[in-house]
């Protein structure tokens, strides 16, 4: 158990809909990262938050948004869903940002299927 909790574990929804994925980082970790893993794109970095502040954006679509709340949990919102958004979405956390130290632990992922 990595200590990173993601909900829901599985989600099936229709095209055009909106979903919210939730992540609770490891106790004490201030950094939260979101990743998308699909068969054709591999693991893609989406966005990074540190202590409530957005720090970096990767290949995140405009239809997607995220935030980190004062209690440090984070949510990834996916809207106007398309078939191609079907993927495994990971949240990861670490205790700091920057530098070469500190392990990054991943949650078990949220499987999203868009039909």
Partner 1 sequence: AQKITQTQPGMFVQEKEAVTLDCTYDTSDPSYGLFWYKQPSSGEMIFLIYQGSYDQQNATEGRYSLNFQKARKSANLVISASQLGDSAMYFCAMRATQGGSEKLVFGKGTKLTVNP
| Token pair belonging to 57 | 């954006």
Give the span between the Cα atoms of 40 and 70, in whole angstroms: 35
In the complex, least distance from residue 37 CB atom to partner 1, rounded to whole angstroms:
8
Q: Closer to partner 1 by CB, 6 or 114: give it.
A: 6
30 binds partner 1 (CB under 8 A): no
Measured between alpha carbons, how far is 107 from 82 in angstroms, rounded to an integer? 24
Binding site for partner 1 (CB under 8 A): 2, 33, 35, 42-43, 45, 48, 50, 55-56, 58, 88, 90, 92, 97-109, 111
């Amino acid at each position: 158990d990595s200590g990173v909790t993601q909900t829901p574990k599985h989600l099936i929804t229709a095209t055009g809909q909106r979903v919210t994925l939730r992540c609770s980082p490891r106790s004490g970790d201030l950094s939260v990262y979101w990743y998308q893993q699909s068969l054709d794109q591999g693991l893609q970095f989406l966005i990074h938050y540190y202590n409530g502040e957005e720090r970096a954006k990767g290949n995140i679509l405009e239809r997607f948004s995220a935030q980190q709340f004062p209690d440090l949990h984070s949510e990834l919102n996916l809207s106007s869903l398309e078939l191609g958004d079907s993927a495994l979405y990971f949240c990861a956390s670490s205790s700091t940002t920057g530098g070469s130290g500190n392990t990054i632990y991943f949650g078990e992922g949220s499987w999203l299927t868009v039909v």
